[in-house]
């Protein structure tokens, strides 16, 4: 059983190159595979509030976040935004389903703060997976974890009260409070600004 | 001044203000934001409410100007040259300017502003300003003209509007900081 962790994994030391990241994430991978995988990731930076993938576009890249916060959000027919997920260092980012299936994205992906990434194109990603079947397995397990995260979030959205959702997020990602405008967090939690402010006041005391 | 360097500087300055609002002000108890340091002085929330009044006028005006510029085929110039009036307004708006100013009655904030909502609007405006600074890279800052709020028949160069708008902002952001220190 290959051992790995992926989403929301915060390493104590800062990571600036892909090889170090993959070495820590999948220490069991042989050096050759690590090198080939790391080789397809290239630096990319984006200013605050840059749309990296628009609805209807096919996601070209798999991102690894080195710095900054990003979000994926859908825009409803009434024009209202629904924030689906936040990403930050060190996790994968981008529109995962659009990337893996190479189908048009149903939602948007943007930076919320100035951001640094390493990113790989789909062509390179596909090629390195074909070359190293062992990576397919590692990737399958990683996607399982992501799927688990999505389903857990689904439970939160459907069966938690607003206050429970707030407390869960504060346990998982309290640092978001001082990194991004609170309207995005309130939106992710499905509450209005006034309610969010009240709950924030409670934990402040 | 080189247009790109000028816009980079505006962007950086706005980032600093936005960062302060996100990292610090958002986490301050709302009643502290609304606290008047002494009678007759503005609370931090009032300073921001004052800036929001100008944002509500200038941000849509700048957006309209840029769109107009794009439509009429304005293209970026290498150098931005301040106009006479624009340079003057920017100078007197600077936080260290010796010129005392009294805010126009319609921009004097009520003593009872909602601090949370005011701060949220201020943050929205900074995000929008950053986007506009970016969009301004597609047009000529000397050519596109923006009216001023107190006298809509006076048109300033877009670059000057950015210049005095951000200087005015810095002035009251520093005032808000002082209000929070008591």
Region of poorest pLDDT, from A5-9, A10-14, A117-121, B143-147: A5-9
Place of tokens 């769109």: B67
- Determine the pLDDT at residue A14: 63
Q: What chain B residue is nearest to A178 in terms of C-alpha separation? A: B23
Best B26, B30, B115 residue to mutate vs chain A (most A CBs within 10 Å): B26
- Determine the pLDDT at residue A37: 94
Chain A residues inside the 8 Å CB shell of B120: 181-183, 193
- Are the beta carbons of A48 and B18 separated by less than 8 Å? yes
Q: What is the pLDDT of residues A132-181, one digit of tens each?
A: 999 999 999 999 999 999 999 999 999 999 999 999 999 989 999 999 99
- Spell out a b/e string for A53-64, using b for 16 or more CB atoms within 10 Å of the CB, else e: bebeeebbbbbb
HEC-encoded secondary structure of chain B: CEHHHHHHHHHHHHHHHHHHHHHCHHHCCHHHHCCCCCCCCCCHHHHHHHHHHHHHHHHHHHHHHHHHHHHCCCCCCCECCCCHHHHHHHHHHCCCCCCCCCCCHHHCCCCCCCHHHHHHHHHHHHHHHHHHHHHHHHCCCCCCEEEECCEEEEEEEHHHHHHHHHHHHHHHHHHHHHHHHC
Residue A194 burial (CB count, 10 A): 11
Interfacial B residues in 103-122 facing A (CB < 8 Å): 116-117, 120
- Are the beta carbons of A178 and B130 separated by less than 8 Å? no
Considering only CA atoms, which of B37, B20, B80, B119 is closest in space to residue A182? Answer: B119
- Inter-chain Cβ pairs, chain A and chain B, closer than 8 A: 42
- Are the beta carbons of A177 and B134 separated by less than 8 Å? no
Query: How far apart are the CA of A135 and the nearest CA of chain B, in angstroms?
Result: 39
- Determine the pLDDT at residue A181: 97
The two structure tokens encoding residue A168: 């869960």
User: B33: burial class by Cβ within 10 Å (0-12, 13-18, 19+)?
Assistant: buried
- Interchain CB contact of B130 with A (< 8 Å): yes
- Cα dihedral angle (A57, A63, A68, A70), rounded to 10 degrees? 30
Query: How far apart are the CA of B15 and the nearest CA of chain A, in angstroms?
Result: 9
* CB-based contact A107:A84 (threshold 8 Å): yes
- Determine the pLDDT at residue A149: 92
Chain A residues inside the 8 Å CB shell of B117: 193
CA atoms within 13 A on the CB side of B168: 22
- Are the beta carbons of B130 and A204 separated by less than 8 Å? no
The two structure tokens encoding residue B62: 């700048």
Predicted confidence (pLDDT) at residue A46 exceeds the cutoff of 80: yes
Percent pLDDT > 70 in chain A is 92
Residue B92 burial (CB count, 10 A): 15
Q: What chain B residue is nearest to A196 in terms of C-alpha separation? A: B116
Query: What 3-state class would DSSP assign to A63?
Result: strand
Predicted confidence (pLDDT) at residue A47 exceeds the cutoff of 80: yes
Considering only CA atoms, which of A112, A153, A129 is closest in space to residue A7? Answer: A153
- Mean pLDDT (whole number) for B49-57: 96
What's the gap between Cα B87 and its chain centre? 15
């Amino acid at each position: 059983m290959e051992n790995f962790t992926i989403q929301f994994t915060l390493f104590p030391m800062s990571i600036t190159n892909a090889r170090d990241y993959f070495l820590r994430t999948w220490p069991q991978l042989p050096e050759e595979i690590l090198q080939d995988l790391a080789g397809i990731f290239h630096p990319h930076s984006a200013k605050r509030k840059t749309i990296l993938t628009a609805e209807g576009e096919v996601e070209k890249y798999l991102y690894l976040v080195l710095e900054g916060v990003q979000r994926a959000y859908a825009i409803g027919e009434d024009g209202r935004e629904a924030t689906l997920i936040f990403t930050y260092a060190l996790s994968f980012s981008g529109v995962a389903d659009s990337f893996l299936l190479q189908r048009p994205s149903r939602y948007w992906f943007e930076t919320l703060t100035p951001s640094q990434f390493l990113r790989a194109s789909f062509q390179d990603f596909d090629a390195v997976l074909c070359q190293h079947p062992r990576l397919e397995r590692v990737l399958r397990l990683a996607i399982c974890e992501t799927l688990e995260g999505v389903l857990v979030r689904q439970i939160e959205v459907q069966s938690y009260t607003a206050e429970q959702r707030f407390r869960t997020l504060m346990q998982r990602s309290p640092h978001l409070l001082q990194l991004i405008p609170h309207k995005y967090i309130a939106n992710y939690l499905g509450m209005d600004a006034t309610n969010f402010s009240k709950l924030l006041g409670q934990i402040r005391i | 001044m080189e247009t790109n360097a000028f816009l980079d500087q505006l962007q950086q300055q706005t980032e600093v203000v936005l960062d302060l609002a996100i990292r610090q002000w958002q986490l301050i108890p709302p009643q502290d934001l609304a606290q008047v340091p002494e009678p007759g002085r503005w609370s931090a929330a009032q300073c921001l409410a004052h800036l929001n009044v100008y944002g509500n006028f200038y941000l849509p005006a700048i957006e309209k100007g840029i769109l107009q510029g794009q439509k009429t085929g304005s293209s970026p110039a290498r150098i931005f040259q301040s106009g006479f009036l624009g340079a003057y307004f920017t100078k007197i708006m600077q936080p260290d300017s010796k010129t005392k100013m009294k805010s126009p009655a319609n921009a004097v904030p009520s003593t009872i502003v909602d601090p949370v909502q005011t701060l949220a609007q201020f943050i929205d405006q900074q995000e929008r300003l950053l986007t506009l600074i970016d969009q301004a890279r597609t047009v000529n800052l000397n050519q596109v003209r923006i009216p001023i709020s107190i006298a809509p028949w006076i048109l300033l160069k877009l670059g000057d509007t950015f210049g005095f708008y951000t200087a005015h902002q810095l002035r009251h952001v520093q005032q808000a900081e002082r209000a929070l220190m008591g």
